[in-house]
C-alpha cells in the first residue's frame, strides 16, 4: 500500500509541473512588456515607425554611432560646429549651422546611421556675420560670376547672331509685300519673324548658360502677365485686329462720301488705329477701327445715280392725280433729273386739311450736286402746282367758344377812319421750272478738294495709309 501511495504522489507532482510550466513561460513576457517594469519613462509610441527597436544594444554601440556621425559631419564644412551625443541609440545634435536648410539636412544624415533610434535636433542657425559666412559667400559668387563671363559672352554672341538673322530675314520687304495682300500685313509678318528669332536666340543662349529653369520661370510669368494684359487691353487688341481686317477687306476708297453709323464725311485715310474722315463742315473726324468694322457703312459715291425726295401738300379738295402728274412733268423737264429711272410721285397720306404727296427724282452725282438738285426741284414743283391752280394750304385751326363765356363787346369802326391799303402791282415772276433749269447744280467739290490736297501733301508724322487702290473693294 505504501508503494501505491508513492506512485500516486509522483503522478500528482508530474501533472502539477506540466500545468504550471506554460504559466511560468507566459508571465515573464508580460512583465517585460509591462510599463511598470521598464526603466525608461518614454512611451512606446516614440519608437520610429520604420521598424521595431531592439530590446538590447551591443556594448560600445553609442560610441561608434557618435564617432560615425561626427566623422561624416567633419567632411562637410557647414557642420563643423555641430556636435553629436548618443545615449541608448538616441542622438542629440547641438551647435550652429550657417543656413536654415542645413538644420534639416543634419538631422536627415544622422537619422540614416545604423543603430540610431531617434534624433533630438537642437541645432540653431548662426546669425553672426562671421558665422553666416556672408562675406565668403559673396566672394564665391563674385568669383563664379567672373569665371562665367566668357561663357556669358559666348551665349550673348549666339543670341545676337540669331536675332540678326531674324532681322535680316524680316528686312526682305519685297518678299513679304509680294506674299502678303497689303503692306500692313507684310509689316505684321516681318514683326512676327523678328519676335520669333529673338525669343529663339534667348532660349539657345540660356541653354548654353544652363539656365533653362530660369527661362521656364520667365516664360511662365510672361504667360500670366500676357493673359492679364490681354484682358486689360482688350479694346486695343480688338482695334488692332479690326485694322487688319479692314486693310484686307477695303470697304471704301479714299475721298469717297460715306456714312459710318451716324458719322458722315469723306474718307481721308485708313490707319492702323482709326479711320480719318473729313466732315462736310471741313472738320477731321477719327473713328476707331473697331467701331468702323462693326458699323453700318453707307457709301454714297459707289453708285453714281442717287435719288432725292421731298413732300408737298395740296388742298383736300384738289385732285391728287392731277397734282402728281403735273409734278412728274415738271421734274422731268429739269435738265439735271435723269429720265431713267423716271421721276415719280406718290400720295403719302390724307391729312386734316391737305393731301401729302411725295415727289422722287434721280440724279447723276458725277454731274449734279444732290442737295442743290433737291432744293431746285422743290422750288420748281411748288411753283408749277401754284401756277396750275393747286392750293398749298397752311394748317387750319377751328376755335370753339364755350356758351357760358360772355361775348366780347363789339366796337363800331367808321369806314372813313381806316386808311385804304396801298395798291401794289405784282411783279412778273418767271416760271419756277424755267428758273430752276438755268441754275447751277454742278457738284460742290470743296470738301473733296480739301481731302485731295491733304492726301497730296508730304507725310508729316502721319500714320501710314492702309487704303490700297490696287485691291478690290468689298
| 3 in a structural domain | no
Phi, psi for residue 14 in degrees, rounded to 5 = -65, -45
Residue 466 is part of a domain; what is its CATH number?
A: 2.30.30.60
> 426 is written with which cell numbers?
405784282
- Same domain for 392 and 313, yes or no, is yes
Residue 144 above 50 pLDDT?
yes
Mean pLDDT of all residues belonging to the chain: 78
| 76 in a structural domain | yes
- Same domain for 125 and 58, yes or no, is yes
- Same domain for 37 and 122, yes or no, is yes
- Same domain for 120 and 93, yes or no, is yes
Rounded to a whole number, what is the distance in angstroms from the first to the last CA of the chain? 139
Residue 287 above 90 pLDDT?
yes
- Same domain for 45 and 125, yes or no, is yes
C-alpha to C-alpha distance for 378 and 95, rounded to whole angstroms: 108
Residue 36 above 90 pLDDT?
no
pLDDT of residue 24: 40
| 291 in a structural domain | yes
Residue 5 above 60 pLDDT?
no
| 5 in a structural domain | no
Q: How confident is the model at residue 362 (pLDDT cuts 50, 70, 90)?
A: very high
- Same domain for 124 and 175, yes or no, is no
pLDDT of residue 126: 79
- Same domain for 73 and 151, yes or no, is no
C-alpha to C-alpha distance for 343 and 336, rounded to whole angstroms: 11
- Same domain for 309 and 259, yes or no, is no
pLDDT of residue 51: 64
Residue 107 is part of a domain; what is its CATH number?
A: 3.30.1340.30
Number of domains, the chain? 4
| 23 in a structural domain | no
Tell me if 95 sits within 8 A of 81, measured CB to CB.
Answer: yes
- Same domain for 264 and 333, yes or no, is no
Tell me if 106 sits within 8 A of 83, measured CB to CB.
Answer: no
pLDDT of residue 132: 55
Enclosing domain of residue 223: 146-232
Written as one string, the DSSP assignment of 48-103 is: -TTSPPPS---TTHHHHHHHHHHHHHHTSGGGTTEEEEEETTEEEEEEEESSTHHH
Written as one string, the DSSP assignment of 30-42 is: HHHHSGGG-S---
> Residue 13 belongs to what H/E stretch?
helix 2-33
pLDDT of residue 402: 65
pLDDT of residue 420: 56
Written as one string, the DSSP assignment of 121-165 is: EEEEE--SHHHHTHHHHHHHHHHHHHHHHHHHHHHHHHHHHHHHH
Residue 152 above 70 pLDDT?
yes
C-alpha to C-alpha distance for 231 and 233, rounded to whole angstroms: 6
- Exposed/middle/buried for residue 431 (C-beta within 10 Å: 0-12, 13-18, 19+): middle
| 265 in a structural domain | yes
- Its sign, for the CA torsion 175, 179, 183, 184, is negative
- Same domain for 287 and 339, yes or no, is no
> 402 is written with which cell numbers?
364755350
- Same domain for 226 and 287, yes or no, is no
Residues of the chain with pLDDT > 70: what percent?
75
- How much is the pTM? 0.54
Q: How far is CA 300 from CA 145, 205, 266, 305, 369, in A?
A: 70, 58, 10, 9, 12
C-alpha to C-alpha distance for 198 and 204, rounded to whole angstroms: 10
Residue 345 above 60 pLDDT?
yes
Residue 466 above 70 pLDDT?
yes
| 138 in a structural domain | no
Please, what's the largest Cα pairwise distance for the chain? 193
pLDDT of residue 460: 58
| 242 in a structural domain | no
Chain-centroid distance, C-alpha 443: 45
At 213-272, the pLDDT tens digits run 777 777 777 777 778 777 777 778 888 888 888 888 889 999 999 999 889 999 999 988
Residue 369 is part of a domain; what is its CATH number?
A: 3.30.70.100
At 84-129, the pLDDT tens digits run 999 888 999 999 888 888 899 999 998 899 888 899 999 988 777 6
- Same domain for 370 and 460, yes or no, is no
Residues of the chain with pLDDT > 90: what percent?
27
Q: How confident is the model at residue 423 (pLDDT cuts 50, 70, 90)?
A: very low
Q: Which residues contact 336 (CB under 8 A, 6 or more apart)?
A: 363, 367, 368, 373, 376, 441
Amino acid at each position: 500500500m505504501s508503494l501505491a501511495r508513492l506512485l500516486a504522489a509522483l503522478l500528482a507532482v508530474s501533472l502539477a509541473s506540466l500545468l504550471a510550466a506554460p504559466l511560468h513561460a507566459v508571465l515573464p513576457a508580460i512583465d517585460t512588456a509591462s510599463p511598470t517594469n521598464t526603466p525608461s519613462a518614454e512611451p512606446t509610441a516614440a519608437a520610429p515607425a520604420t521598424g521595431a527597436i531592439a530590446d538590447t544594444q551591443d556594448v560600445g554601440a553609442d560610441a561608434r554611432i557618435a564617432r560615425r556621425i561626427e566623422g561624416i559631419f567633419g567632411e562637410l564644412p557647414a557642420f563643423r560646429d555641430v556636435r553629436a551625443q548618443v545615449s541608448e541609440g538616441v542622438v542629440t545634435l547641438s551647435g550652429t549651422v550657417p543656413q536654415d536648410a542645413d538644420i534639416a539636412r543634419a538631422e536627415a544624415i544622422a537619422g540614416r546611421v545604423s543603430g540610431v533610434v531617434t534624433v533630438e535636433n537642437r541645432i540653431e542657425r548662426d546669425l553672426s556675420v562671421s558665422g553666416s559666412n556672408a562675406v565668403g559667400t559673396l566672394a564665391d559668387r563674385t568669383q563664379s560670376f567672373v569665371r562665367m563671363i566668357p561663357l556669358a559672352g559666348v551665349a550673348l554672341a549666339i543670341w545676337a547672331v540669331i536675332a540678326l538673322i531674324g532681322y535680316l530675314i524680316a528686312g526682305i520687304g519685297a518678299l513679304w509685300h509680294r506674299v502678303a495682300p497689303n503692306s500692313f500685313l507684310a509689316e505684321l509678318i516681318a514683326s512676327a519673324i523678328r519676335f520669333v528669332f529673338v525669343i529663339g536666340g534667348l532660349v539657345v543662349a540660356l541653354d548654353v548658360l544652363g539656365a533653362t529653369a530660369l527661362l521656364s520661370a520667365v516664360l511662365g510669368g510672361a504667360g500670366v502677365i500676357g493673359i492679364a494684359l490681354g484682358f486689360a487691353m482688350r479694346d486695343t487688341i480688338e482695334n488692332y485686329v479690326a485694322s487688319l481686317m479692314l486693310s484686307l477687306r477695303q470697304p471704301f476708297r479714299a475721298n469717297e462720301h460715306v456714312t459710318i453709323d451716324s458719322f458722315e464725311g469723306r474718307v481721308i485715310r485708313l490707319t492702323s488705329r482709326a479711320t480719318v474722315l473729313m466732315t462736310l463742315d471741313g472738320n477731321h473726324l477719327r473713328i476707331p477701327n473697331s467701331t468702323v468694322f462693326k458699323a453700318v457703312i453707307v457709301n454714297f459715291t459707289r453708285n453714281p445715280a442717287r435719288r432725292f425726295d421731298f413732300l408737298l401738300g395740296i388742298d383736300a379738295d384738289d385732285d391728287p392725280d392731277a397734282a402728281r402728274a403735273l409734278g412728274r412733268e415738271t421734274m422731268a423737264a429739269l435738265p439735271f433729273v435723269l429720265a431713267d429711272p423716271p421721276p415719280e410721285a406718290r400720295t403719302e397720306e390724307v391729312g386734316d386739311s391737305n393731301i401729302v404727296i411725295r415727289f422722287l427724282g434721280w440724279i447723276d452725282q458725277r454731274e449734279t450736286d444732290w442737295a442743290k438738285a433737291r432744293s431746285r426741284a422743290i422750288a420748281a414743283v411748288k411753283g408749277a402746282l401754284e401756277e396750275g391752280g393747286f392750293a398749298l394750304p397752311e394748317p387750319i385751326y377751328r376755335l370753339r367758344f364755350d356758351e357760358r363765356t360772355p361775348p366780347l363787346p363789339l366796337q363800331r369802326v367808321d369806314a372813313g377812319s381806316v386808311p385804304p391799303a396801298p395798291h401794289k402791282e405784282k411783279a412778273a415772276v418767271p416760271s419756277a421750272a424755267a428758273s430752276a433749269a438755268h441754275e447751277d447744280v454742278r457738284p460742290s467739290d470743296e470738301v473733296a478738294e480739301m481731302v485731295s490736297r491733304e492726301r497730296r501733301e508730304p507725310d508729316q508724322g502721319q500714320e501710314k495709309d492702309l487704303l490700297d487702290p490696287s485691291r478690290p473693294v468689298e
